[in-house]
Amino acid sequence: MGVKMRWVCLAACAAGAAAGAAQAPVQSAVGRTLVANALEGLQGARGIYLRAEGTERQGEVSRVVTVTAALESGSMGPHQSSWLELNAWRDGRLVQRLAGDGTTLWNWRPLRNTYSSIQYQSSERPRPDHRALMLAGAGRWADRDADFAVRMLRDIFSTGAGLAARWTPWIGGEQNPWVTYGNGTADVIFRADRLEAQIAYRLVDNRLGGYDIGQIWYERVDRTTGVPTLVQWQATLLKDAIPTGTQYGFQPPRGARVVTVQGG
């Protein structure tokens, strides 16, 4: 069965439609620097909110996945810590929740009603790498529906200060992406042909001499499932815009079964 990726065409068409007349795409290492600088600009935010909409198409079957993720960092008494709430829905049903409450990261799978936890910060022995530990735990536990969102959050904080000098896209592949400049926008597209994956960043002029990340598109073909599966995501990243009602805490539901508990 032939499965083809279309994001390069879609992103270029979107740039032309949204930004008016757009220049022809050019392959340039500058694109990597533009994206890295935009990601680094998010590191100082008190909060980051990500919403991703995705589809999986396998033959005639299509599934819809939605993921929301809120991440904050700040003071917890005399120390610093980080908080996370990530929810993943498949066809409207909640399938995974990750919650970082400032000290413990919780992983709950509602369909099984099982949960795990791991400590990433302590008031007795404060950890300066609390956010990295929390995101590393989220990366280990993220199911396929939550994986894209967790990878995007880890991408922002992957190397700390000086990100622009060392950053490479997590899908690997070419280091000289395709760049399409529009009216106040730049679309940067990385391709990893060996993995049959592409990721595109819509950058928006922030009028401060740089760009902010507007939207992100991701696409890959998964051939490990027998019938090839086309996976497509579209995500929006917002800085310092955590929705009201975000809940970082977790209370195991009645009857929930413990799988793993570490620390604490």
Query: Per residue in 174-186, is it b (16+ CB within 10 Å) or e — as a string?
Result: beebbbbbbeebb
CATH number, residue 16: 2.50.20.10
Question: 166: exposed, middle or buried (C-beta count within 10 Å: 0-12, 13-18, 19+)?
Answer: exposed
Whether 123 is in a domain gets the answer yes
Residue 3 burial (CB count, 10 A): 16
Whether 35 is in a domain gets the answer yes
Whether 251 is in a domain gets the answer yes
- Angle made by CA atoms 54, 60, 65, in degrees to the nearest 5: 15
Whether 1 is in a domain gets the answer no
Residue 224: domain span: 7-262
Residue 8 pLDDT = 46
Whether 152 is in a domain gets the answer yes
Number of independent structural domains in the chain:
1
Q: What is the CA radius of gyration of the chain?
A: 19
Whether 135 is in a domain gets the answer yes
From first to last of its 264 residues, what are the pLDDT tens digits of the chain?
Answer: 455 555 444 444 454 444 455 678 888 888 988 999 999 888 888 999 999 999 999 988 999 999 999 999 999 888 999 999 999 999 999 999 999 999 999 999 999 999 999 999 998 889 999 999 999 999 999 998 999 999 999 988 865 556 667 788 888 777 689 999 999 999 999 998 888 999 999 999 999 888 999 999 999 998 887 889 999 999 999 999 999 999 999 999 999 999 977 764
Whether 2 is in a domain gets the answer no
